């Protein structure tokens, strides 16, 4: 059987659609010794990389549906009673299947920080306050953004403050749909 050939095959003409960076006139000596090439400066190319994930919250989905609707829920173990603010459908203490429970919308500030820098994604939002909330009857804490305190005056006196949950009006289906602010006494 004859091998089929493609006489029209060619490389892409449009170099702008090729990956990496095209460098023109990169010098290369006609005469060279081994050391000349080992002394060469490294060539550094730029490579862009972006991706859209279809990230499923899976069994944790009701938690996000709740905060999108102004409710706070967590999970409680029917066997040992261990209750978590972020959901864990399997108990981290004994491994039993847990049940969804309503959580209070008020709590106390357990710890905090003010981020003056952050990951690239959050740089525009600095300075922002991260805090951990203690909720009555819950064995774990809730990591959240804190609003309503001055990020330029952080103080250990903030710890123990009464805080209340607020919910973003337009849900982004992110854990930041809920955030906490100082509760008026």
**Contact stretch for other proteins (CB under 8 A) within 5-13, 16-24, 113-121, 163-171:** 113-121
Q: Which does 94 bind (CB under 5 to 8 A by kind): other proteins, Zn ion, none?
A: Zn ion
- Cβ proximity to Zn ion: between 60 and 150 the closer is 60
Residue from the set 22, 78, 123, 150 that interacts with other proteins by CB under 8 A: 123
* Residue at token pair 């730029």: 46
20 binds other proteins (CB under 8 A): no
* Sheet with 83-84, edge to edge strand ranges: 83-84, 73-76, 99-102
Residue 115 site contact among other proteins, Zn ion, none (CB < 5 to 8 Å, cut-off depends on kind): other proteins
Q: Which of 66, 72, 76, 88 binds other proteins (CB under 8 A)?
A: 88
Positions in 154-183 near other proteins (CB under 8 A) = 154, 156, 159, 174-176
Tokens of 67: 């905060």
Q: Which stretch binds other proteins (CB under 8 A): 1-9, 16-24, 135-143, 162-170?
A: 135-143
Q: Tell whether residue 76 is a contact of other proteins (CB under 8 A).
A: no
Helix (H) or strand (E) holding 22: none
| Neighbouring residues of 151: CB distance < 8 A, sequence distance ≥ 6 | 114, 127, 128, 129
Per-residue buried b or exposed e for 41-79, using 16+ beta carbons within 10 Å of the residue's own CB: eeeeeeeeeeeeeeeeeeeeeebbebbbeebbebbbbee
User: Is 70 a residue that touches other proteins (CB under 8 A)?
Assistant: no
Task: Report the residue number, 66 or 142, with the smaller CB distance to other proteins.
Answer: 142
Single out the segment in contact with other proteins by CB under 8 A; choices: 11-19, 29-37, 55-63, 99-107. 55-63
Contact of 154 with 116, CB cutoff 8 Å: no
Cβ contact 78:98 at 8 Å = yes
Binding site for Zn ion (CB under 5 A): 77, 79-80, 82, 91, 93-94, 96
> For residues 165 and 178, what is the distance between their CA atoms, to the nearest angstrom?
6
């Amino acid at each position: 059987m004859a091998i089929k050939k493609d006489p029209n095959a060619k490389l892409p003409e449009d170099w702008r659609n090729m990956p990496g960076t095209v460098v023109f006139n990169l010098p290369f000596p006609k005469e060279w010794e081994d050391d000349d090439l080992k002394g060469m400066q490294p060539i550094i190319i730029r490579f862009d990389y972006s991706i859209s994930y279809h990230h499923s919250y899976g069994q944790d989905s009701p938690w996000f549906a709740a905060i999108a609707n102004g409710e706070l829920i967590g999970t409680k173990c029917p066997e040992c009673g261990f209750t978590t603010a972020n959901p864990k459908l399997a108990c981290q203490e004994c491994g039993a299947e847990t049940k969804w429970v309503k959580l209070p919308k008020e709590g106390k500030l357990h710890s905090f920080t003010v981020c003056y820098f952050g990951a690239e994604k959050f740089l525009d939002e600095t300075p922002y306050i991260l805090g951990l909330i203690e909720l009555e009857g819950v064995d774990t804490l809730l990591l959240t953004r804190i609003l309503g305190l001055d990020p330029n005056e952080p103080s250990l006196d903030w710890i123990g403050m009464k805080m209340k949950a607020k919910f973003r009006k337009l849900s982004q289906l992110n854990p930041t749909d809920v955030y906490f602010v100082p509760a008026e006494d």
